[in-house]
Amino acid sequence: MGLLAAGKALTTEGTEFHRGKSSPTQAKGGLEWATSEVFNNRAGMKEHYNVLFLCTGNSARSIMAEAILNFKGKPRFTAYSAGSHPSGVVRPEALARLEAAHVPTDNLRSKSWDEFAAPDAPKLDFVFTVCDNAAKEVCPIWFPHEKAAGPEPMTAHWGVPDPATVRGSAQEVERAYREAFTILERRIGLFLSLPLASIDKLALKKEVDKIGQQ
């Protein structure tokens, strides 16, 4: 059974999720994932981490986040991105912004989050949503594969205004992509500075949530 096998998608107050064995819980700031132990007592004790960036269309913000983390976090981190309703096309403005920052753009593609619900998908350690709640954008909530073994990924919301919605001059559009890139680059830099080998998992959850507010 994949992510969609249990039924149709549900939408609650701008949050999109799929039925599964777990459910989101109400917390300060909105719906968030009720995580189990991602790493036993400590967040670290690992040599490699897989990170998934989620949004709706997987055409700009999550694509840039994937590229930035793969560039800055290698070889310790491998980043992926996906969308709940992927556009199937990577925005050329996002690619141009990455190239201007000398971030590799090889193999970037717009794809569905279904790929990461398959039994042979990478085991995820973190899932970050980058949709913009302030703009009432429908935001996906990650649910693990029903038969997935091991702990669930730690999640956080890192909302970023969608540059793909900006209409205006070429300079205004370019500025929107530059600002989104800058926000993501700053947050990823903060994430990479966390002492994952020693930090307690509850403290880590607070830190990754705090990064989303930066």
Selected catalytic residue, list 139, 196, 204, 208 = 139
Question: Residues 127, 131, 137, 140: what is their CA dihedral angle, to the nearest 10 degrees?
Answer: -10
Per the annotation, the verdict on 131 as an active-site residue is: yes
Outline where the chain has alpha helix (H).
Answer: 61-73, 92-100, 170-192, 201-211
Question: What sign for the dihedral angle of Cα 4, 133, 57, 120?
Answer: negative
Per the annotation, the verdict on 148 as an active-site residue is: no
- Cα separation, 141 vs 123, in Å, equals 17
Selected catalytic residue, list 43, 52, 54, 55 = 55
Selected catalytic residue, list 43, 131, 176, 188 = 131
Closest by CA position to 50, among listed 147, 152, 146? 152
Helix (H) or strand (E) holding 55: strand 49-55
- Cα separation, 26 vs 30, in Å, equals 6
* Residue whose token pair is 């594969």: 145
Per the annotation, the verdict on 55 as an active-site residue is: yes
Residues in the chain: 214
Active-site positions read 55, 131, 139
